[in-house]
Structure 1
Amino acid sequence: MAGPASTSQLLSSSARAHASRVAVEGPQGTVTFARLADRVARLAAGLRDLGLSPGDRVLDLQPNQNSSIELDLATSWAGLVRVHLNYRLHERDWARIAEDAGATALVYDARFADRAEFLRDAMPHVSIGDGPGVSYEKLAEGPAMPAETRDLVSLNYTSGTTGNPKGVRREHANRLASAAAMAADVCPGLSTEDVYLHAGPITHTSGLFVLPFLAAGARQLVLPAFDTGDVLEAVRERGATHTALVPTMIARLLADPALDAPLGLKMLAYAGAPMPPAHIRDAFERITPNLVQYYGLVEAIPPITVLSPADHREALTSRPELLASAGRAATGVELAIVGEDGGSLGMGEIGEVLVRGDAVMRGYWSGAADARPVRDGWLHTGDLGRVEADGHLYLVDRKGDMIITGGYNVYPREVEEALAGAEGVEQVAVVGLADPEWGQRIVAFYTGTAAESEVDAHARRELASYKKPKEYRRLDAFPLNSTGKIDKKSLRAS
């Protein structure tokens, strides 16, 4: 990964080295590395011909498809700034992001033509498919332009779990640092024979693998949406060797009766939320032993820490406590744990996790309040954790999620991990709700077949009395936010 100073240079280098190899295969067909680079250069020129200047922000509204990768590379090539709009969000969220970013153009999939009409009325627009506006395919067949590198390549908006979404400034250096660490720590030894499966959203976890697989001259398979049958077919019939899924997707894959033999993947990465130890063991035995967990934030592009396949094997044979770890610092990343006064804490002491390295953002866009500010190069993550002597980071919880009940501090994550071991519990989320007697009472939401009394009995065996939930609520399914994580804000409001 050493060498390229921009994503455009990386693409150009790969196109020269692997010209005739397939780069992307998905719903919109198959393109070679040479063809991909050519289309990207032509799309870049077409975008600039709309009257856009370097640094202008371009809204990107589309689901998983080939053009998700092409447009990401093309905006960078043109010196523009890509702003992804998650199609699962409400239109008012799109409007808020578009206004905050000061967007001046929209590229959208025709399937969202009606929902995006108010955006189209406000700016030049390019249609992927048969929709109003300039044709995306016509842009891709027009004249090409040389790459025009600018530092800022995208604004990535947070999910808004602690307030309105904030635009995170991502530069070439941030993305290349993430790609280098991915290649070194999460999927080492990549070759042209490897195939990455985009089964999750390219705009989130899956998109982290675009650059390292481009650099390796490897193929990328794009699924339009997550489907367990399609995942199994992609691995068994189409040669997929690597993929990354959130824990809820892995749970669905494990529940599919068609998963009747291990898949033999070279890598199955998971991130985004804790995964119950029982599911990790199940995935290890029934999908692949090559499991990798990584941790990161929108403000610090993953991987910040990595729990390697070797860590998983050790955890499942002799050190089960490792499954609660987020792993060790990734290549090029420094970690620190500090107390309330900002002073460094010792090994095993719980404090706020600080991160430093090239993957850390340069700041928020448009003067957004720095809820997670960068000071002297250190990002204050808002996550609480501890680092043990062997270098493993253990995340305790979000700083703002800590529950204070009866004068005691309780970390929801600790309670969730304990309850996840109860028979008949599939997923669990713990929140604190206002209580006139206790200040906050601990409430556990869960899915599965276990009765509330059975979960409570398990909690009595596993937790200190003040950490035990005072209320249990069984759900058919959890509300999820736009990134597929359990929406605790909705749970607190229920």
Structure 2
Amino acid sequence: MSTTPRPGERVALLVPGSPAYVDLVIALLRRGVFPVPMDLGLTPTEREPLLAELEPALVVTTTEQLEDLRIALDADPVDGPPLGRPVHLTSGTTGRPKGVFSGLLEPGAAAALVAEERELWGFREDDVNLVLSPIHHSAPLRFAVGTRLAGGRVVVPGPFDPARVTAAIEAERPTTMFCVPAHLQRLFAHWEQHRRPDLSGFRLVAHAGAPCPDHVKRELVAAFPAGSTWEFYGSTEGQFTACRSEEWLERPGTLGRARPGRTMTVDPDGRLWCVVPEHARFSYWRAPGKTAAAWRETPLGPAFTVGDLGRIDDDGHVFLDGRRDDLVISGGVNVYPAEVERVLAEVEGVTDVAVFGLPDERWGARVCAAVVGPATEAALREHARTHLAPAKRPKDYLRLDALPRTATGKVRRLDLPDLAAGRG
């Protein structure tokens, strides 16, 4: 490769996860170049506006390109901590994806970012991190990067499949793993049908991304070594709490206390805010209005919110009362109704549409759409398949003569699950 990206530039990654992917992310960040991990499931309709907004210096779309770039960077190695975080894409309440940007960190802040993760999760040289989730998501990439920075090894079995994961556990003897509750449910079901592998090598199993059903949490604690399982509460924007499962057993429902260096507060509207150190601050890429809305000054320092509602008990334990009311978390993936509604509204015969979530044993929640108008379900499904990533495509369609609305014209989204149940 004749040229390599310069500090401050961005490199979009549209390739499958692999150990080389993780090493490339580290090599870029050590140079102050910002990788942009992107979902391979994005359709051209979804992907092109994001690339236009982010203006990457390079778009990596093949494993050959990835390897060429990695080799070019290895030829001129750079040591030291990553000088920032990848630009992960997240959606706001409008459903418009936006980049979460850490900016270029000074050496002290960069070292603090690495040290914080290593001290909390204990990353070490003999770790083997098993990657279950798509690596463009922030949590699995963060655990993989932390492992590699400590000198450990990363195993990426491929798209999640319980049999494939079980085989990787048996062959690779991983010591750490990040997962979402849907992964655990499918693994436990598979192990019940077949057999449970030897899990004694795990020292850390962390889960997040969606509420974990009580029975799944208890099975997790029983299946893995004592003291090895954790839940944490965070978002693409930042991390808030961490909680050992034993702590959860004493206070069912808690997400734990604020992580070291952070302070959690709740405002009069029940919205959770987090004061974070310098190295954990962010802005939304080229969205100063959204950035300003997410942050506020407090006596303890700058604090941000992602709009979640919750409460904090007298001992500092955080409890989540509800996600943002327009958000559906399906298999650990954030799905915003506004984005899906805009796509479905393009279908001929749709006169009104509202998207909502229903509880789902496998995925935590499934995406559903209430539709007004003569458009056929086949047409809706085909349009969604063409224009939306798999997690965003409605699983169920509810036919209504009219959407329930308030006097000011807003959809009463909370009424839709009851309407769906009445049609069941």
**TM norm. shorter chain > 0.5:** yes
Name the SS for the 1:326 alignment partner.
coil
Specify the alignment match of 2:265 in structure 1: 336
Residue 440 (1) aligns with residue 378 (2): no
CA contact (8 A) 1:384 1:395 kept: yes
Specify the alignment match of 1:33 in structure 2: none
Specify the alignment match of 1:278 in structure 2: 215
CA contact (8 A) 1:181 1:330 kept: no
Q: Tell me, which stretches of 5 or more residues in structure 1 are unaligned?
A: 1-45, 111-125, 130-134, 341-349, 403-418, 446-468, 476-494
In 1: Cα distance, 2:79 partner to 2:153 partner: 23
Specify the alignment match of 1:23 in structure 2: none
CA contact (8 A) 1:58 1:107 kept: yes
Residue 79 (1) aligns with residue 65 (2): no
Specify the alignment match of 1:90 in structure 2: 43
Q: After the TM superposition, which residues 58-77 of structure 1 pair with which residues of structure 2 at under 5 Å, given as runs?
A: 58-77=11-30
In 1: Cα distance, 2:78 partner to 2:156 partner: 27
Equivalent residue for 2:256, pick from 327, 341, 357: 327
Counterpart AA for 2:296: R
CA RMSD of aligned residues (A): 3.5
Residue 196 (1) aligns with residue 129 (2): yes
Instruction: Tell me: CA distance 1:148–1:356, structure 2 relative to 1, closer, same or farther (3 Å).
Output: closer
TM-score of the aligned structures, taking structure 2 as reference length: 0.70
Residue 260 (1) aligns with residue 196 (2): yes
Measure how far apart 1:65 and its partner are: 0.9
Measure how far apart 1:392 and its partner are: 0.7
Specify the alignment match of 2:304 in structure 1: 379
Specify the alignment match of 1:100 in structure 2: 53
Instruction: Tell me: CA distance 1:146–1:191, structure 2 relative to 1, closer, same or farther (3 Å).
Output: closer
Residue 50 (1) aligns with residue 7 (2): no
Instruction: Tell me: CA distance 1:284–1:157, structure 2 relative to 1, closer, same or farther (3 Å).
Output: same
What per-residue deviation string (whole Å, max 9, x for no partner) do you get for residues 380-409 of structure 1?
22111110012110011134449xxxxxxx
Q: After the TM superposition, which residues 145-164 of structure 1 pair with which residues of structure 2 at under 5 Å, given as runs?
A: 145-146=77-78, 152-159=84-91, 162-164=94-96
Specify the alignment match of 2:102 in structure 1: 170
Measure how far apart 1:292 and its partner are: 0.4
Residue 183 (1) aligns with residue 124 (2): no
Instruction: Tell me: CA distance 1:432–1:69, structure 2 relative to 1, closer, same or farther (3 Å).
Output: closer
Residue 361 (1) aligns with residue 361 (2): no
CA contact (8 A) 1:184 1:331 kept: no
Name the SS for the 1:394 alignment partner.
strand
TM-score of the aligned structures, taking structure 1 as reference length: 0.61
> 207-216 or 327-336: which moved more?
207-216
In 2: Cα distance, 1:169 partner to 1:249 partner: 29
Measure how far apart 1:369 and its partner are: 3.4
What per-residue deviation string (whole Å, max 9, x for no partner) do you get for residues 354-382 of structure 1?
34234533311113531652223111221
CA contact (8 A) 1:337 1:353 kept: yes
Q: After the TM superposition, which residues 449-488 of structure 1 pair with which residues of structure 2 at under 5 Å, given as runs?
A: 469=418, 471-472=420-421
What per-residue deviation string (whole Å, max 9, x for no partner) do you get for residues 301-338 of structure 1?
x3x201113314xx1xxx4xx33121111111111111
Instruction: Tell me: CA distance 1:368–1:88, structure 2 relative to 1, closer, same or farther (3 Å).
Output: farther
Name the SS for the 1:336 alignment partner.
strand
Instruction: Tell me: CA distance 1:308–1:177, structure 2 relative to 1, closer, same or farther (3 Å).
Output: farther
CA contact (8 A) 1:291 1:309 kept: yes
Specify the alignment match of 2:398 in structure 1: none
What per-residue deviation string (whole Å, max 9, x for no partner) do you get for residues 238-292 of structure 1?
2211101111111110110234366232221111000110111122223454320
CA contact (8 A) 2:11 2:33 kept: yes
CA contact (8 A) 2:81 2:114 kept: no
CA contact (8 A) 2:27 2:78 kept: no
Residue 309 (1) aligns with residue 278 (2): no
Q: Tell me, which stretches of 5 or more residues in structure 2 are unaligned?
A: 328-357, 371-402
CA contact (8 A) 2:264 2:272 kept: no
Task: Provide the aligned length of Structure 1 versus Structure 2.
Answer: 346
What per-residue deviation string (whole Å, max 9, x for no partner) do you get for residues 181-212 of structure 1?
43333x33x44333211122222221111343
Instruction: Tell me: CA distance 1:259–1:285, structure 2 relative to 1, closer, same or farther (3 Å).
Output: farther
Please say which structure displays the higher CA radius of gyration: 1
Equivalent residue for 2:163, pick from 226, 229, 243: 229
What per-residue deviation string (whole Å, max 9, x for no partner) do you get for residues 23-57 of structure 1?
xxxxxxxxxxxxxxxxxxxxxxx5xx426432122
Measure how far apart 1:154 and its partner are: 3.2
CA contact (8 A) 1:363 1:374 kept: no
Counterpart AA for 2:86: S
Measure how far apart 1:437 and its partner are: 8.4
What per-residue deviation string (whole Å, max 9, x for no partner) do you get for residues 129-170 of structure 1?
7xxxxx4476367x4254699955532211456421111112
Counterpart AA for 1:194: D
Instruction: Tell me: CA distance 1:473–1:61, structure 2 relative to 1, closer, same or farther (3 Å).
Output: farther
Name the SS for the 1:382 alignment partner.
coil
Instruction: Tell me: CA distance 1:260–1:428, structure 2 relative to 1, closer, same or farther (3 Å).
Output: closer
